[in-house]
Amino acid sequence: MAQVVAHTERLNLEGLNIEFGVFNGYGSKLILENSTRDLLLVDTFNGMSSPLPIDGEYWSKGDMARELAEVQERLSSWSGRTKYFVGEIPDILSQLPETSIVFAHVDVDLYTPTYQSLKWLSKKLVNGGMIICDDYGFETCPGATKACEQFISENLNYSFLPLPVGGALFFKNER
């Protein structure tokens, strides 16, 4: 992820970075270390919502919970560049700022929050911007994989690159 963030930094695009699914903040730290842009952090900090049947049986409601204060402490060196949004996706999306996004990290494991995050990003990501969907292609995340495939089939102005180690990159193209 660090290389992708650094690449978007070299493009000199206007906008912010965003992370959907913060967990312990280590991904956020990589984003902040490799970019000068502000970072919006979106998570429940109470763990996952209830999985749907499309999500399989690996995850349970409440998995991946972390204390907000723990993450804020870990990222305290960048407190002037971070803004937290606490709530479930899609409910929290209406509280996010009207802004352009250059880089997004989507790591929410389940169908609904993955698809809704990508759908929100489709209107916010700048041309040349990039999205990493961390969960694409993993046996434990069939819902997230389906959400990525549905998103790319609906958004012809995006290119899609599945990664050999899992996950996928989305590139927004000018049309």
How far is the C-alpha of 54 from the C-alpha of 70, rounded, in Å?
32
The pLDDT value recorded for residue 173 is 84
Q: Residue 7 sits in which domain range?
A: 2-172
pLDDT tens per residue across span 49-81: 999 999 999 999 999 999 999 999 999 999 999
> Which CATH number does the domain housing residue 61 bear?
3.40.50.150
51 in Cβ contact with 110 (< 8 Å): yes
Percentage of the chain modeled with pLDDT above 70: 99
Q: Which residues, 6 or more positions from 124, have their beta carbon under 8 angstroms from its beta carbon? A: 15, 99, 100, 101
Instruction: Decide: helix, strand or coil at residue 15.
Output: coil
42 in Cβ contact with 96 (< 8 Å): yes
Structural domain count, the chain: 1
pLDDT tens per residue across span 74-94: 999 999 999 999 999 999 999
| Average pLDDT of the segment spanning 9-26 | 95
Given CA atoms 139, 113, 125, 72 in this order, what sign does their dihedral have? negative
Burial class (CB in 10 A: 0-12, 13-18, 19+), 116: buried
Q: Two tokens at 81?
A: 């560049």
> Half-sphere exposure (CA, 13 Å, Cβ side) for 34?
18
